[in-house]
Amino acid sequence: MATIKDVAKKAGVSTATVSRVVNNGPKVGDKTRARVLAIMAQLGYHPNENARALVTKKSQSLGVVIPDLTDPFFASLANGVDKIARQNNMQLLLSTGSISEESERQAISFLLERRCESIVVHSKKLSDQEIIEFANKIPGLVLIDRFIQEIADKCIWLDNEEGGKIAARHLLSLGHKQLACISSRYQIDDPALRFKGFKNELTESGLSLLAHHFVEDEPNLQGGEVATQKLLASDTKFDAIFVYNDAMAIGAISTLEDNGFKVPLDVSVIGFDDVLLSRYSRPKLTTLHYPIEEMAEFAAQLALGKIAAPATEQGNGHKYIPRLVKRESTSLKT
């Protein structure tokens, strides 16, 4: 693989001159530039980014840390970051690590070792403390889908609680009174917040949630099916379900119909996230849109320092509100 020296020698100039040509530097004569360019092409020269990064202390890369790529939600996140990377002619460094606290730490360390100065991090396992430490070490680190007071202006997050409220308001406005919930069995913040908001809104309307109308399971299609069976087994009526995410909601609808319930005629179902799936299901799913790609793009810009970090409104960081997407799985109580 040809180096800058090879090019310099063959062109009869110094490496400095070649470097200037490569970087479109200013002080180089036209004929020289042409000659060097020709030789570069001839030799198939590609500058060594590692050497460059070493001396300039800039890595020309944009990092992103997510649990894994198979989940379309995270794929969208990564895609948002990638979009910004491409816009800025930077290389995307993707680090996956979810299974454990240790692997999240590893994922960030990997990027640190490559001196990646702008990183969008999605982390659920690392402690607030450790994230704050990383953030102090890396000025261009931003945190997505999580809020930590101490680094508020580096946090891009969704107001899950408000999402729960919006779902509740929607179902109430359709005249439903006997509500049920299907949640994720994993004790992370997201489900807790969503259902907190949901319940609070019910309370405000003088309604409440029966204990056996709140069930939990795996946050996927099967989990939704199992959870719905539990709900049906409890033998008390419900006319609407707020489900933790779209995959579970689709599982729920499937089980409901297998048991003779029409959606939305007999039971309205509302999901959360608005993943691709929700537009492919029948009936098409009413859900809350989680603008993850948009958030990821914003996060990436912020990490790159492209955004004059706007005074964060009352120390809330950069908060997004989910938007109700009415489709076919909810309807007026009949």
- Of 24, 41, 44, 56, the one binding DNA by CB under 7 A: 56
The answer to whether residue 12 forms part of the interface with DNA (CB under 7 A) is: yes
Q: 243: Cβ–Cβ under 8 A, 6 or more apart, which residues?
A: 181, 182, 224, 249, 252, 269, 270, 271, 272
The answer to whether residue 282 forms part of the interface with a second copy (CB under 8 A) is: yes
Would you call the peptide bond into 264 cis, given omega within 30 degrees of 0 as the criterion?
yes
Q: Given the complex with a second copy, which of 3 and 32 has the nearer CB atom?
A: 3
Interface map 92-111 toward a second copy (x if CB under 8 A): xxxxx------------xx-
* Size of the chain, expressed as the number of residues it contains: 334
**Smallest separation (angstroms) from a second copy to the CB of 197:** 27
The answer to whether residue 225 forms part of the interface with a second copy (CB under 8 A) is: no
Q: 22: Cβ–Cβ under 8 A, 6 or more apart, which residues?
A: 4, 40, 47
- How many of the other CB atoms lie within 10 Å of CB of 209? 19
Cα–Cα distance list, 225 to 15, 171, 187, 222 (Å):
66, 21, 20, 5
Q: Which two tokens stand for residue 74?
A: 């995270």
The answer to whether residue 276 forms part of the interface with a second copy (CB under 8 A) is: yes
**Smallest separation (angstroms) from a second copy to the CB of 168:** 26
User: Residue 114: which of DNA, a second copy, none does it interact with, CB under 5 to 8 A by kind?
Assistant: a second copy
User: Residue 228: which of a second copy, DNA, none does it interact with, CB under 5 to 8 A by kind?
Assistant: none
Q: 234: Cβ–Cβ under 8 A, 6 or more apart, which residues?
A: 212, 213
Q: 23: Cβ–Cβ under 8 A, 6 or more apart, which residues?
A: none
**Smallest separation (angstroms) from DNA to the CB of 139:** 16
User: How many angstroms separate the CA atoms of 57 and 221, rounded?
Assistant: 47
**Smallest separation (angstroms) from DNA to the CB of 46:** 7
User: Residue 124: which of DNA, a second copy, none does it interact with, CB under 5 to 8 A by kind?
Assistant: none
131, 234 contact by CB (below 8 A): no
- Of 12, 23, 29, 86, the one binding a second copy by CB under 8 A: 86
User: Residue 150: which of a second copy, DNA, none does it interact with, CB under 5 to 8 A by kind?
Assistant: none
- Of 30, 113, 235, 313, the one binding a second copy by CB under 8 A: 113
User: How many angstroms separate the CA atoms of 71 and 67, rounded?
Assistant: 9
The answer to whether residue 90 forms part of the interface with DNA (CB under 7 A) is: no
Helical (H) or strand (E) element with 253 = helix 246-258
**Residue 155 main-chain phi, psi, to 5 deg:** -105, 130
- How many of the other CB atoms lie within 10 Å of CB of 218? 17
**Smallest separation (angstroms) from DNA to the CB of 114:** 12
- Of 16, 34, 38, 54, the one binding a second copy by CB under 8 A: 54
- How many of the other CB atoms lie within 10 Å of CB of 99? 11
- Of 281, 286, 287, 330, the one binding a second copy by CB under 8 A: 281
Q: Given the complex with a second copy, which of 114 and 196 has the nearer CB atom?
A: 114
Q: Tell me which residues touch a second copy (CB under 8 A).
A: 1, 44, 46-51, 53-54, 59, 68-70, 72, 75-76, 78-79, 82, 86, 91-96, 109-110, 112-115, 137, 221, 247, 250, 254, 257, 276-277, 279-282
